[in-house]
């Protein structure tokens, strides 16, 4: 048990006795209460608060698990037409400047060169994706006679 100290206030002793189902004379309880000592069962209050804390921690863990399972709501909106065309122009410009890409040539090695460099950097993109965006960017290429 070890719930009582060698010396105890009367209120603590009475609370301990009640918690352990030990009969205490009503006159003794009234005398202690009238004397001004607070009769409180701190152990029971502590146990109740500990139970509530455990329940709330469990509820928090459940809510965090549910929240983690939900896909994050993207704050980004889809690209608008103007933003998309700007990005395609950037891709095309970089391909032309860094890889000597000729957007008017039938077949090029640009996509595989870009793929190799991206793989070296640890960026995973397929060569089909690179070809797709280079093909879409052709409409923003300067005329063939300016090459």
Structure tokens, 22: 């030990």
| Sign of the dihedral defined by the CA atoms of residues 75, 81, 82, 86, in that order | positive
pLDDT of residue 28: 87
Distance between CA atoms of 99 and 113, rounded to whole angstroms?
8
Pairs from 42-50 (Cβ < 8 Å, separation ≥ 24) = 42/12, 42/15, 43/3, 43/15, 43/16, 43/19, 44/15, 44/19
Residue 110: closest CA among 118, 119, 101:
101
pLDDT of residue 130: 94
- Please, what is the Cα angle at 143 between 97 and 126, to 5 degrees? 50
pLDDT of residue 44: 78
pLDDT of residue 74: 66
pLDDT of residue 45: 81
- The tens place of each residue's pLDDT in the chain, 147 residues long, gives 566 666 777 777 888 888 889 998 989 888 888 877 555 667 778 888 999 999 999 999 999 998 888 776 666 778 899 999 999 999 999 999 999 999 998 889 999 999 999 999 999 999 999 999 999 999 999 987 765
Block residue for tokens 């008017």: 104
pLDDT of residue 132: 94
DSSP-based three-state secondary structure for 103:
coil
Tell whether pTM > 0.75.
no
Structure tokens, 120: 């070296």
């Amino acid at each position: 048990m070890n719930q009582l100290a060698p010396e105890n206030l009367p209120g603590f002793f009475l609370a301990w006795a009640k918690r352990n189902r030990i009969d205490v004379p009503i006159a003794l309880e009234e005398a202690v209460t009238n004397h001004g000592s607070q009769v409180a069962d701190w152990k029971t209050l502590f146990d109740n608060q500990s139970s509530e804390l455990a329940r709330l921690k469990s509820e928090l863990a459940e809510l965090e698990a549910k929240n983690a399972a939900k896909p994050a709501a993207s704050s980004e909106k889809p690209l608008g037409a103007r933003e998309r065309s700007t990005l395609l122009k950037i891709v095309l410009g970089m391909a032309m400047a860094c890889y000597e890409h000729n957007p008017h040539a039938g077949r090029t090695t640009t996509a595989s060169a870009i793929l190799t460099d991206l793989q070296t950097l640890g960026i995973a993109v397929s060569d089909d994706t690179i070809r797709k965006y280079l093909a879409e960017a052709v409409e923003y290429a300067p005329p063939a006679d300016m090459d």
